[in-house]
Amino acid sequence: MRIGLVAGEASGDVLGAGLIRAIRARHPEATFEGVAGPEMIAAGCECWEPSESLAVMGLVEPLAHIPRLLRLRRQLAGRWTASPPDVFVGIDAPDFNLGLEIKLRKAGVRTVHYVSPSIWAWRAGRVRKVRKAADTVLCILPFEPALYAAHDVRAVFVGHPKAYAAPEVVDTMAARAALGLQAPEIVTVMPGSRHGEVQRLGGILAEAMRAILAQRPDVRFVTPVAAPKLKSLIAGQIDAAGLVGKVELLDGDAERAMSAADVVLQASGTAVLEAALLRKPTVATYRVASLTYLLVKVFRLVKLTHYTLPNLLTQEPLVPEFIQHDAQPEAIADAVVALLESPQRRQSISERFDRLRQELALDADQHAADAVLDLARR
């Protein structure tokens, strides 16, 4: 059995590696090839191109990379059309993979798209492209298969990998001890993992921390720095807000930092779901580049009442959200303080987040392997 894969970014690399291991455990003779990251390579995938070459974000930013990406897609389509794999799996990176899947499917290759594009959030019309591209869609959110069923697309909920990996018990005091934190209240602050995010949000969050301290002087903050190159930028924002000595900067270690917290304050994104899976009450905020925001508003690309995944997955929205112009330090600080002042509310949120973890915690690797092998046998 021969399987082609294209994974975009680190998250896709992790999913691909888990899928490879699950398939290889059942079919040791299986071979894997394509666009891969270090995790997939370690799991046994032959790498034709590193997955980081697809890691281009935003609406405007990717424009400069289009010629290179189109050239790579033509090369992959030509190679797999000339020598077809038993199944092709495109992992995330929908703007790249869906077009490739369409070409391969037309050539008779069975295709899987792993991780549904957020058709429920923005660019809902992409479902028509998915229908042309994929024999099967592997979904990590439980409400997605019903959306595809309405468009006659075969989709399977395989579970969310982060939920399956989340600990059943979160020991807050042990996390604090490991980090050397002794304050009575801890707020973990995460301004993002990319330079642009931190530039736009870091100063706002630093001012919010200062406003929180004005109301809760015993609070201490911890910030896990997502990448070494961001450390000086974040440190400068903290210094400008007069918070030197009040914020503990960590080199990574985000899960432990969130585990140690009473409340997490962070940039909206995947990390908000990670905090929820650790049962942590969270306040989320985000700002995009002005041009990107203008395009989203003018073309009505986003049609959501809530932006964070936990709020889309629970009946009651539990994560206060401050997006774009609403991302003001005082309002953000008030939301954090409200949670700090109500242990009962924090406990209620933690209990609902634990139920969410259980709802999402299927073994995604095994369920994804089931679906891929089922398609290969057809």
Q: What is the distance, to the nearest Å, from the Cα of residue 245 to the centroid of all Cα atoms in its chain?
A: 31
- CB-CB contact of 97 with 90 (8 Å): yes
Nearest to 251 by CA among 232, 271, 277: 232
Nearest to 221 by CA among 252, 242, 190: 190
Higher pLDDT, 151 or 61: 151
pLDDT tens profile 273-286: 999 999 999 999 98
DSSP assignment of 40-95, as one string? HHHHTEEEEEEGGGG---SSSGGGGGHHHHHHHHHHHHHHHHHS--SEEEEES-HH
CATH number attached to the domain at 2-159+362-377: 3.40.50.2000
pLDDT tens profile 147-166: 999 999 999 999 999 999 99
Query: Average pLDDT for residues 108-120, to the nearest whole number?
Result: 93
Residue 60: per-residue pLDDT: 47
Collapsing DSSP states into helix, strand and coil, what is residue 332? Answer: helix
Collapsing DSSP states into helix, strand and coil, what is residue 107? Answer: coil
Query: In which residue ranges of the chain is CATH 3.40.50.2000 found?
Result: 2-159+362-377, 172-360
How far apart are alpha carbons 286 and 191 in whole angstroms?
9
- Please determine, for residue 267, whether its predicted confidence score (pLDDT) is greater than 60: yes
Query: Average pLDDT for residues 314-341, to the nearest whole number?
Result: 95
pLDDT tens profile 357-373: 999 999 999 999 999 99
- Please determine, for residue 325, whether its predicted confidence score (pLDDT) is greater than 50: yes
Nearest to 101 by CA among 128, 141, 130, 59: 130
How far apart are alpha carbons 112 and 117 in whole angstroms?
13
**Residue that has been written with the tokens 């899987």 in this structure:** 112
How far apart are alpha carbons 295 and 305 in whole angstroms?
18
Q: Under the phi-then-psi rule, with left for phi > 0, alpha for psi from -120 to 50, and beta for the rest, what region is 159?
A: left
- Please determine, for residue 37, whether its predicted confidence score (pLDDT) is greater than 80: yes
Which band of pLDDT confidence, cut at 50, 70 and 90, is reported for residue 287? confident
- Please determine, for residue 292, whether its predicted confidence score (pLDDT) is greater than 90: no
Q: Under the phi-then-psi rule, with left for phi > 0, alpha for psi from -120 to 50, and beta for the rest, what region is 175?
A: alpha
Query: Average pLDDT for residues 215-237, to the nearest whole number?
Result: 96
Residue 125: per-residue pLDDT: 82
Residue 283: per-residue pLDDT: 98
- 172-360: CATH class: alpha beta
* Mean pLDDT for all residues in the chain: 92
Residue 304: per-residue pLDDT: 59
Which band of pLDDT confidence, cut at 50, 70 and 90, is reported for residue 68? confident
- Please tell me the pTM assigned to this model: 0.84
Which band of pLDDT confidence, cut at 50, 70 and 90, is reported for residue 289? low
Residue 311 has which token pair? Answer: 């709020």
The H or E element spanning position 113 is strand 110-114
Residue 58: per-residue pLDDT: 47
How far does the chain reach from its first CA to its final CA, in angstroms?
A: 13
Query: Average pLDDT for residues 32-57, to the nearest whole number?
Result: 91
**Residue that has been written with the tokens 């896709």 in this structure:** 12
In the chain, helix, strand, coil percent, each to 5?
55, 20, 30
